């Protein structure tokens, strides 16, 4: 089992474990908020998109992404990412700095057999109480697991170490075997550093809600990996609306190597508008098409005057 460092994104600062890092211009640092508190309608939107949703005392939205491992028969690299409001945590501390701690357990089972389990305590630090209470502040936690291809059950248990909020969710996984000539399902990400070796971890900060705020971001960043495909292979990235109509298409070229290639495409949100979309990626001549949901929000669109 391999675990990557957790990533917390809070308001206007990026936090790695308990160490504060200066935000960069290429890293959006606020996960798009729901309209107010997590409502059942909002939860259903995420659930209908295929995401994992908790409506318990610790509301969160989670996503699972898959990448090729060392070999197709060995294991599939599985990324579990959660997004939740900073208001869920109890912050404490003296002076300007406030901190909160939370515990996350990830456990994967095949039948009754536990095949991997991680337990992590994470620390979040903020500069002021108001920063912790911002309605738009979201924290992102992510971990990599190595899982065998096939059916599995994933348990996610998250708890506020200083308070009473907690949630436990179980979901079924169909872990793919990523080998031969194929693409991995695309990923909606905040930050992408393509990997060059299959035994390395992708250096991604993913968007667990697959949601983009069009009032803050100008484009959706989409990352896709390819295996057994030549460098320069064309990948057709298509955005479909809820009626399966093509809204936008882009062609990108795989870079890297035959063993592991990748491509990143930035889709302008102005070409999409608000709504629910499906992003597909395909290589001409290959039968399989991989896909992921994309939600575009324009919360204040109706109140904003049109540009002249």
Phi and psi, residue 81, nearest 5°: -130, 135
Residues (pLDDT < 70) of the chain are 1-39, 94-95, 128-136, 298-308
pLDDT at 18: 28
Residue 1: inside a domain, yes or no?
A: no
Q: Pairing relation of β-strands 289-297 and 211-213? A: parallel
Length of the chain: 308
pLDDT at 126: 83
Any bridge partners for residue 224, and if so which?
A: 263
pLDDT at 130: 66
Would you list the DSSP string of 216-266?
T-SEEEEEEEEES--TT-EEEEEEE-TTS-EEEEEEEE-EE-SSSEEEEEE
Residue 247: inside a domain, yes or no?
A: yes
pLDDT at 98: 84
Q: How far apart are CA 103 and CA 76, in angstroms?
A: 25
Task: Give the domain extent around 245.
Answer: 8-297
pLDDT at 298: 67
Would you list the DSSP string of 59-70?
-EEEEEEEEE-S
pLDDT at 27: 28
pLDDT per residue over 268-287, tens digit each?
998 898 899 999 999 998 98
Q: How far apart are CA 125 and CA 277, in angstroms?
A: 35
pLDDT per residue over 208-252, tens digit each?
999 988 878 889 999 999 999 999 999 999 999 999 999 999 999
Residue 217: inside a domain, yes or no?
A: yes
As for how many domains the chain has, the answer is 1
pLDDT at 4: 39
Residue 306: inside a domain, yes or no?
A: no
CATH of the domain at 289: 2.60.40.10
pLDDT at 129: 66
């Amino acid at each position: 089992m391999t675990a990557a460092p957790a990533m917390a994104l809070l308001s206007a600062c990026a936090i790695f474990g308990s160490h504060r890092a200066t935000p960069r211009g290429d890293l959006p640092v606020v996960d798009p908020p729901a309209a107010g508190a997590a409502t059942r309608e909002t939860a259903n939107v995420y659930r209908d998109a295929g995401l994992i949703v908790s409506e318990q005392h610790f509301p969160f939205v989670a996503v699972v992404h898959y990448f090729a491992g060392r070999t197709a028969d060995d294991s599939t690299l599985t990324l579990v990412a959660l997004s939740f409001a900073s208001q869920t945590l109890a912050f404490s501390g003296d002076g300007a700095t406030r901190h909160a701690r939370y515990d996350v357990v990830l456990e994967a089972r095949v039948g009754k057999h536990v095949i991997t389990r991680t337990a992590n305590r994470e620390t979040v630090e903020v500069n002021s109480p108001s920063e912790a209470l911002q309605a738009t502040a979201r924290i992102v936690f992510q971990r990599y697991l190595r899982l065998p291809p096939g059916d599995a059950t994933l348990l996610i248990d998250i708890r506020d170490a200083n308070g009473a909020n907690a949630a436990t969710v179980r979901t079924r996984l169909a872990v793919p075997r990523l080998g031969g000539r194929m693409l991995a399902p695309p990923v909606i990400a905040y930050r992408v550093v393509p990997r060059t070796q299959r035994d390395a971890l992708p250096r991604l900060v993913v968007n667990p809600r697959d949601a983009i705020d069009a009032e803050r971001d100008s484009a959706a960043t989409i990352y896709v990996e390819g295996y057994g495909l030549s460098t320069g292979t064309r990948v057709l990235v298509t955005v479909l609306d809820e009626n399966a109509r093509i809204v936008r298409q882009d062609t990108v070229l795989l870079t890297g190597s035959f063993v592991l290639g990748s491509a990143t495409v930035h889709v302008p949100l102005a070409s999409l508008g608000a709504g629910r979309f499906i992003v597909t990626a395909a290589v001409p001549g290959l039968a399989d098409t991989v896909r992921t949901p994309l939600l575009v929000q324009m919360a204040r669109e109706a109140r904003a005057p049109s540009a002249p």
